[in-house]
């Protein structure tokens, strides 16, 4: 066998080993139970940043979500409120914000939209 053939075979084996090692590493990383909360936290931070950049006030969103939850689901004790989706479309009336309220009775998704004056109002509770 020539030296060139041996070098090419060694390189091919090394590339195959690196490829298989990368697959094993990525599979192991995807199976990590800490990955999902980390992704969820990053998504929430991203949505909060997008909301802040658009001039949306997080306090107003939470206040509107709590008010509508009190009307739609009396007795639902809100412990935590998360902004999980910002849907900013052209014009004020097309904006949507999805808030997830965690409480004693589980969780509720509150979808808020804006009226022509820019006030946050309830679209639906899931």
Structural domain boundaries enclosing 81: 56-125
Evaluate whether residue 4 is within a structural domain: no
Evaluate whether residue 6 is within a structural domain: no
pLDDT digits (tens, 9 = 90+) for 25-49: 878 776 777 777 877 777 777 777 6
75: tokens are 């007795």
Rounded to two decimals, the pTM is 0.61
38 burial (CB, 10 Å; 0-12 / 13-18 / 19+) is exposed
Could you tell me which of 43, 39, 35, 38 has the C-alpha nearest to residue 98?
Answer: 43
- Domain count for the chain, please give it: 1
Pairing of strands 78-87, 120-125: unpaired
Evaluate whether residue 121 is within a structural domain: yes
Evaluate whether residue 73 is within a structural domain: yes
Low-confidence ranges of the chain (pLDDT < 50): none
User: What does the pLDDT read at residue 55?
Assistant: 62
User: What does the pLDDT read at residue 114?
Assistant: 86
CATH number reported for the structural domain that contains residue 103 in this entry: 3.10.450
User: What does the pLDDT read at residue 15?
Assistant: 95
């Amino acid at each position: 066998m020539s030296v060139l053939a041996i070098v090419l075979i060694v390189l091919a084996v090394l590339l195959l080993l690196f490829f298989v090692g990368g697959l094993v590493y990525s599979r192991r990383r995807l199976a990590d139970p800490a990955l999902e909360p980390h992704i969820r936290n990053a998504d929430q931070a991203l949505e909060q940043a997008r909301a802040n950049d658009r001039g949306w006030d997080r306090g107003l969103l939470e206040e509107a979500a709590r008010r509508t939850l009190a009307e739609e689901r009396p007795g639902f004790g809100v412990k935590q409120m998360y902004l999980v989706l910002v849907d900013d479309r052209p014009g004020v009336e097309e904006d949507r914000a999805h808030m997830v309220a965690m409480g004693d009775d589980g969780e509720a998704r509150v979808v808020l939209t804006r009226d022509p004056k820019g006030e946050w109002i309830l679209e639906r509770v899931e």
